[in-house]
A and B are shown apart, each in its own frame.
Chain A
Amino acid sequence: MSLINYASREINCKLVYYGPGLGGKTTNLEYIYEKVAPASKGKMISLATETERTLFFDFLPVDLGTIRGFKTRFHLYTVPGQVYYNASRRLILKSVDGVVFVADSQMERMEANLESMQNLYDNMAQHGLDLTRIPFVVQYNKRDLPNAAPLPQLQEALNPGWPVEDPARQHDIPDPYRPGELLVQQTNGGWTERVPHFEAVAMRGDGVFDTLRAVSKMVLKTLG
C-alpha cells in the first residue's frame, strides 16, 4: 500500500523480490545498489545468516528525487527463498505495492520455482491481496547457464496467465517490453492475461534494470 505523506511531502512504494532460494533475488538488489548513483540510494541492509543466505530480508531504498513537490522513493525488499522461512516471507509481503518473481531458469529448479510461485499466491491471499490485481512481473534469471530451460517452457509453467473477465480488457494487448508479443490474447476460446516477463543474468546485471524499470512504472500508474 503506497503511502502519500502530505505532511512530509513524501511518497513511498514497496517492491518485493520473491522466488526460490539461490535464484538471484539478493543479486538483483546488489547489482542495483552497485549501479545506482550514490545520491539516489540509501543504505542497503541484509539480515542474513553467517553464510550470507537471506534470513529475514534485504532492503534497499532508492530515491527518484522530488517530483511535483513530493520526495518519491521505492523501498526494495527481498524475501528469504528457503522453504522453511515462510513466516519471514509472509511478513515482508505486508502492504506490498509491486512484486518481482525471480525464477531460476535451471531445469533442476523447476519444481522449486513452482513451489515458490504457489507460496507467493498463498501468502498474498493471506494479506487479502490478489496477485492478478497488483503490479507483478516475472524475471527468468540465469539465462546464461547451459541447463537453462527454454523460455516457452518456463512461461507455460510459471506465467500461464489467468482468465480475463472484464469485457473492456478482452482484446489483444501488446507486451510493451517484447515487440510482437501479447500480454492479453485469446486462447482456446477465452481471453488470457500474462504478466510481463524478462530474461536476466543478474550476476552480470543483464535484465536487472529492465525488470525494475517495468515494475516501478506499473506501481506509479496505480498512484495516478
Chain B
Amino acid sequence: MSGSATWSFREEDAARIGVLLNRLLAESGARTALLVDRAGQMLATAGHPPSFDPITFATLTAADFSANDQLARLLGENEFGALFHQGEKDSLYLADVARRVILVVLFDNTTTLGLVKLRVRGVLGDLSQVFTDMFAQDGQRAGTPRGVERGFVGEAEDEIDKLFGGA
C-alpha cells in the first residue's frame, strides 16, 4: 500500500489530446468534448467553451461514472464502458478511457447519438494510448520538472494562512 502520489499532465500530452478531441468534434458534429479524471478533476476541453462551471461538472461526472461502475458490478458486468444522458436540447455521451479518465461529449439536436457513438469509438483507442503512455512514462521523462518548483510550498502555506485565518 502507498501514500498519496502526484501525477502530472503536461503540455505535450494536452497537445496530443487536443488534436484527437478536435478531430472527434469535427467528425461527429458535437459541440464540446471534455476529459475528466476519475477523481473528478477537469483535464482538458475542446470545442465550444462550456457555459457551466467546469469544476462542478467534473466532480459530478466522476461521481456519475463511479456510481454506474458499481451498478455494473451488481449486475455482474465489469463496467458500463459508456453512459448516455438525453436532454431535450443537449445530451451527454460519456465513455471510459483506459480506466483512468472519462471522455464526455456534449452535443445537441444538430447531430445524432449514433454518429457520436461511432466517432467516439474511433478515437477511444488513440486516447487510451495517450494515457497509457502518460502513466507509463510519468516519472521517467528526462528534462521535465517533477512536482512543484522550489518556493511553491512556502508561498502556498502563506496563502493558506491568509485564506483560512492562520497566524
A residues at B contact (CB < 8 Å): 1-8, 11-12, 14, 36-37, 40, 42-43, 45, 47, 56-57, 59, 61-62, 64-65, 67-68, 70, 72-73, 75, 87-88, 91, 94-98, 124-125, 128-130, 133-135, 209, 212-213, 216-217, 219-224
Q: Are B155 and A129 in contact (CB under 8 A)?
A: no
Residues of A within 8 A of B82 (CB): none
Minimum Cβ distance to chain B for residue A131 (Å): 9
Q: A8 CB to closest chain B CB, in angstroms?
A: 8
- Please report the C-alpha to C-alpha distance between residue A129 and residue B148 in the assembled complex, in whole angstroms: 22
**B108 CB to nearest A CB, Å:** 24
Selected interface stretch from B83-91, B109-117, B122-130, B158-166: B158-166
| C-alpha gap A27/B164 in the complex (Å) | 16
Interface positions of B from 131 to 148, Cβ below 8 Å from A: 147-148
Q: Contact check, B151 vs A56: say whether CB atoms are below 8 A apart.
A: no
Chain B residues close to A by CB (< 8 Å)? 1-11, 13-15, 37-44, 53, 55-56, 59-60, 63, 66-67, 70, 147-153, 155-157, 159-161, 163-166
A42 pairs with B55, CB closer than 8 A: yes
Supply 18 further A-B pairs (C-beta < 8 A) apart from A57-B63, A68-B155: A3-B7, A3-B8, A3-B37, A6-B8, A7-B11, A11-B148, A59-B56, A59-B59, A65-B159, A72-B156, A88-B67, A95-B39, A135-B4, A209-B166, A213-B164, A222-B4, A223-B148, A224-B153
Q: How far is the CA of A133 from the CA of B1 in the complex (A)?
A: 9
Say yes or no: B2 contacts A133, CB within 8 Å.
yes
Query: B164–A216 contact, CB under 8 A?
Result: yes
A70 touching B148 in the complex, CB below 8 Å, given contacts A43-B53, A61-B55, A213-B161: yes
Known: A7-B44, A217-B157, A220-B160. A129 touches B1 (CB 8 A): yes
Give the distance in Å from the alpha carbon of A40 to the alpha carbon of B59 in the complex. 18
30 contacts across the A-B interface (CB closer than 8 A): A1-B4, A3-B41, A6-B9, A6-B11, A7-B9, A7-B10, A7-B13, A7-B44, A14-B39, A37-B163, A42-B56, A62-B163, A67-B155, A68-B148, A68-B155, A70-B152, A75-B41, A91-B67, A94-B66, A129-B1, A129-B3, A129-B4, A133-B4, A134-B4, A217-B160, A220-B160, A221-B153, A223-B153, A224-B147, A224-B148
Given the complex of chains A and B, what is the CA–CA distance between A125 and B1 in angstroms? 7
Partner of A224, one of B4, B7, B152: B152
Bound CA–CA A124/B163 (angstroms): 29
